[in-house]
Amino acid sequence: MEKVVNPTEQKNLIIELNEGREMANELKNQLDVVKTSPENCEVLVEKILSSYDKALAMLLTCRALKEETLPVHSLLVPTSPIISEGSNGFSKDQHCHNKGESKKRKILPKWSEQIRVCSGTGLEGAVDDGHSWRKYGQKDILGANFPRAYYRCTHRHSRGCLATKQVQRSDEDPSIFEVTYKGRHSCIQVTNSGSAIVSDGKEMPKAKKARSLEKEDQQGLKVQNEVLQTKQEIFRSFSFNFTGVESDNLDCQFFSDVMKESDYSPAFLSPTTSESNYFSSSCQMDNNFGTIDNILQISESVDLADMISTPTSVITNSPFGDLDFLNDHLDFEPSFQLDDPFAYFS
DNA sequence: TGGATTTGACCTAG
DNA sequence: CTAGGTCAAATCCA
């Protein structure tokens, strides 16, 4: 892989990564001191996460913008047949359909999230992202304790939106929901406040949604309205500024795949949509990772096998605490040093 | 009554 | 042939 970002972005990225490293070291030192208060540690963790978030957002930004200029098909990454034991087959190759609505599998961009919702928060099983989805199927998956639910965009017919998602509850940790998105929303319909406002201005009937969530709960796929807000908080932590990105930033490869293949691409790439709340142009960091217990991991599905194969390490750390998935894209050297991380991008 | 969910059947890829 | 993905009729519910 080639160099990733321009000098300015590179510098900022290095700064952020170094800060994160320093704070991690500080945290380590703090942990060695018995009398260190949990609050101090929490603050440090938040700072660390913030730094990594910023750094990754930079990479995300430049990659996304680069891919924006490419044909959609050039963005499609062949999914890996890798499927780890106990992964519920979540990452198994999902080829696509060519006949539109036919049962043939489509060639659609695909990306995945792992969402953990900690028990006690009332968000157990919460899987919502601000889009309105209609469940169209459910399947028992071989080797999985929980069925996989299939959703498509409510506006599939009215707007021809082909976005779909699959929600699979993790066997190993039922608090983890693995969500695979396929296709991008051609409809625009995400709110800033937790209610799902569709592009035509209608608000999703909350009672109905609550009912559906309740039903999902009965089958281990409970979804609650609160999660939307929670996820918005999560996404807000990824906020970055598009305006500062120059065209020569467009060499980062990995994150744009995620973005471009994601349902969120319009939101990420178009600050004019309401979804821009997730990736606002303010580049704000609010450290929500430190205050919520939801951990969201975005990855290409090709990497999800890795994530799933080690869900604990993925989930119990920061969203970027497990950077294994980066390796697939960036080909880091084992001796990766933050001093000049770009030297290791191949 | 209209929209969402459920669920068995069907289709396709591997 | 099997498993995963989708369809669509039946059903549910506000």
| DSSP characters over A201-270 | SPBPPHHHHHHHHHHHHHTT----THHHHHHHHHHHTT---STT--GGGTT--HHHHHHHTSTTHHHHH-
Asked if pLDDT for residue A147 goes beyond 50, the answer is yes
Q: Which residue is nearest to nucleotide B6 (CA to C1')?
A: A137
- How far is CA A261 from its chain centroid? 11
Q: How far is the CA of A89 from the C1' of C14 (A)?
A: 37
Nearest DNA or RNA nucleotide to A165 (CA to C1') = C5
Asked if pLDDT for residue A152 goes beyond 60, the answer is yes
Kindly report the average pLDDT of chain A as a whole number.
Answer: 51
CB-based contact A292:A118 (threshold 8 Å): no
Q: Can you tell me the distance from the alpha carbon of A120 to that of A142, in angstroms, rounded to the nearest whole number? A: 30
Q: Can you tell me the distance from the alpha carbon of A46 to that of A51, in angstroms, rounded to the nearest whole number? A: 9
User: Coil, strand, or helix at residue A60?
Assistant: helix
Q: How far is the CA of A137 from the C1' of C9 (A)?
A: 13
Nucleotides of chain C touched by protein CB (<7 A) = 2-8, 13-14
Does any strand C atom come closer than 7 Å to the Cβ of A210? Answer: no
Q: How far is the CA of A225 from the C1' of C12 (A)?
A: 21
**H helix intervals, A33-166:** 38-68, 72-75
Sequence-separated (6 or more) residues with CB below 8 Å from residue A266: A184, A185, A188, A273, A275
Does any strand C atom come closer than 7 Å to the Cβ of A89? Answer: yes
Nucleotides of chain B touched by protein CB (<7 A) = 3-14
Output the six-digit token pair for A239: 């906020």
Q: Can you tell me the distance from the alpha carbon of A72 to that of A231, in angstroms, rounded to the nearest whole number? A: 27
pLDDT of residue A136: 92
What letter would DSSP give residue A316? S
Q: Which residue is nearest to nucleotide C7 (CA to C1')?
A: A103
Q: Can you tell me the distance from the alpha carbon of A91 to that of A81, in angstroms, rounded to the nearest whole number? A: 8
Asked if pLDDT for residue A301 goes beyond 60, the answer is no
pLDDT of residue A103: 38
Output the six-digit token pair for A202: 């209608």
Structure confidence at residue A320 as a pLDDT band (50, 70, 90): very low
A 73-132: CB within 7 Å of strand B? 81, 93, 95, 102-105, 132
pLDDT in tens, A248-298: 343 334 334 444 444 343 333 333 333 333 333 333 333 333 333 343 444
Does any strand C atom come closer than 7 Å to the Cβ of A103? Answer: yes
Mean pLDDT computed over A316-342 = 38
**CA dist A202 → A128, A132, A266 (Å):** 18, 11, 19
Nearest DNA or RNA nucleotide to A103 (CA to C1') = C6
pLDDT of residue A341: 40
Q: Can you tell me the distance from the alpha carbon of A54 to that of A58, in angstroms, rounded to the nearest whole number? A: 6
Structure confidence at residue A150 as a pLDDT band (50, 70, 90): very high
pLDDT of residue A131: 76
pLDDT of residue A164: 86
Asked if pLDDT for residue A156 goes beyond 80, the answer is no
pLDDT in tens, A55-84: 655 555 444 444 333 333 333 333 333 333
pTM of structure: 0.44
What's chain A's length in residues?
346
